[in-house]
Amino acid sequence: MSIKNIELVLTPPEPHFVGDGFRVHNFIPGGYRTDMERMNPFILLDYGAKFYFPPSDHPLGVGVHPHRGFETVTIAYKGRVAHHDSTGESGVIGEGDVQWMTAASGILHKEYHEKEFSREGGELQMVQLWVNLPAKYKMSAPKYQSLTNAQISKVTLPDEAGVVEVIAGEYKKTKGSASTFSPIHLLNVKLNKGGKADFSFPEVYNSALLVLEGKVTVNGSEEVPANHFALFQNDGETFDIESAEDAIVLVMSGEDLSEPIAAHGPFVMNTRQEILQAFEDYQKGKFGYLKD
Ligand code: MN
């Protein structure tokens, strides 16, 4: 086994608002070496760093919009996010919960602050990760995996180092809770002060981490502060993370789909023709209906 080295550490880009409720730093697809081809199957990463929203008489968020060709994974760290969609599904993503939505052939949905959270105001911290689908699944039926924190597999680290929540894939032989369409590991790592954890993924997998809390040291030398993103080279299998303070790190690693990417806004397909088809289907109402 050889060491997987860090390729680059990104400072958080200037935040922008998605709708009026999500203030995010967009790390993928970034201009600098984090484009969709490089990061595939992770084709978008929006990070809502901790931000206080004052009380509002209407829930802030983003109105009805479509998705096709991929999955959206929403993780709430602080605050609560609600959603509704054209298949009739709805729900609340509470602190520590994960919603894994397979948009696949097409869905309309809206995402906003949960009503009570909105009324009271509070701090929101969340992640939305888009996971690409292999071509053969892009037009399959939409589906949902709503994982409350209690339902997520957990691995307790030795020496009271902390806990690893296995959202998808595997960690130390514990299987993740979400099913995926291609090999992906998605781990929420909670380190206690002085804690350390090690990881091993195939060298060809595209791998990265996002630090949500604390400052961590990777492979004993590279420091990655809170709200920073680190991309690994595809040069080895193993790395470790340690922290002198309590830390939370989202670790992702996935097999490159090695298929062409054609992306436009909320549609991510393989060819330009399929993107045009997505617009046409959307305009014809084939994504269903959802009230604004
Ligand atoms: Mn969406």
Q: How far apart are the CA of 155 and the centre of ligand 1, in A? A: 30
Cα 262 to Cα 36: distance, rounded to the nearest angstrom: 10
Q: What is the pLDDT of residues 55-70, one digit of tens each?
A: 999 999 999 999 999 9
**pLDDT for residue 1:** 84
- Structure token pair of residue 220: 């004993």
d(CA 116, ligand 1 centre) in Å: 21
pLDDT value for 288: 87
Q: What is the pLDDT of residue 285?
A: 92
- Chain-centre distance of CA 206, in angstroms? 14
Q: How far is the CA of 258 from the centre of ligand 1 (A)?
A: 25
What pLDDT score does 195 carry? Answer: 98
Instruction: Report CA(199)–ligand 1 centroid distance (Å).
Output: 31
For residue 99, give both structure tokens: 């919603």
pLDDT, residue 11, reads: 96
pLDDT at residue number 84: 92
Report the pLDDT averaged over residues 261-273.
Answer: 97
Q: Exposed, middle or buried by CB within 10 Å (0-12, 13-18, 19+), for 35? A: middle
**Cα-to-centroid distance, 58 and ligand 1 (Å):** 19
Say how many Å lie between the CA of residue 264 and the centre of ligand 1.
14
- CA–CA distance from 6 to each of 14, 30, 209, 239, 240 (Å)? 23, 17, 10, 9, 11
* DSSP assignment letter at 141: P
289 pLDDT more than 90: no
Provide φ and ψ at 279, rounded to 5°.
-60, -45
Instruction: Give the Å distance between the CA of 259 and the centre of ligand 1.
Output: 23
CA of 191 to the centre of ligand 1 (A): 30
What is the 101 CA–ligand 1 centroid distance (Å)? 9
Distance 103 CA to ligand 1 centre (A): 9
Q: What is the pLDDT of residues 200-243, one digit of tens each?
A: 999 999 999 999 999 999 999 999 999 999 999 999 999 999 99
Other CB atoms within 10 Å distance of the CB of residue 44: 19
Decide: 182 and 168 in contact? Cβ < 8 Å: no
Task: Tell me, in angstroms, the distance from the centre of ligand 1 to residue 83's CA.
Answer: 9
Using the mean position of ligand 1's atoms as its centre, give its distance from the Cα of residue 87 in Å. Answer: 14
291 confidence band (pLDDT: 50, 70, 90):
confident
Distance 236 CA to ligand 1 centre (A): 34
Sorted by where each begins, the domain ranges of the chain are 6-254
Distances (CA, A) of 255 to 38, 104, 108: 11, 19, 28
Q: Are 177 and 130 in contact (CB under 8 A)?
A: no
Q: Thinking of the domain 6-254, which architecture would CATH place it in?
A: Sandwich (2.60)
- pLDDT at residue 31 is higher than 80: no
Residue 28 CA to ligand 1 centre (angstroms):
15
**269 pLDDT band (50/70/90 cuts)?**
very high
Ligand 1 centroid to residue 109 C-alpha, Å: 6
Strand partners, 223: 217
Residue 30 — pLDDT band, cuts 50, 70, 90? confident
Q: How far is CA 141 from the centre of its chain?
A: 21
pLDDT band (50, 70, 90) for residue 126: very high
| Confidence at residue 129, expressed as pLDDT on a 0 to 100 scale | 98
Q: Which two tokens stand for residue 43?
A: 């084709």
Q: What amino acid is encoded at 84 in this protein?
A: H
- Residue 166 CA to ligand 1 center (angstroms) comes to 23
- Chain-centre distance for alpha carbon 235: 23
0.85 exceeded by pTM: yes
Provide, rounded to the nearest whole percent, the portion of the chain with pLDDT above 70: 100
Q: Residue 128 Cα, ligand 1 centroid: separation in angstroms? A: 9
Considering the chain, what is the average pLDDT of its residues? 96
For 132-154, the pLDDT digits (tens) are 999 999 999 999 999 999 999 99
Q: Determine the distance separating the centroid of ligand 1 and the alpha carbon of 1, expressed in angstroms.
A: 39
In the reported structure, the alpha carbon of residue 182 is separated from the centroid of ligand 1 by a whole-number distance in angstroms of 21
178-202: b (≥16 Cβ within 10 Å) or e: bebbeebbbbbbbbbeebbbebbbe
pLDDT tens-digit series, residues 81-123: 999 999 888 999 999 999 999 999 999 999 999 999 999 999 9
**What is the 68 CA–ligand 1 centroid distance (Å)?**
10
Sort strands 6-10 and 229-232 into parallel, antiparallel or unpaired: antiparallel
241 neighbors 213 (Cβ within 8 angstroms)? no
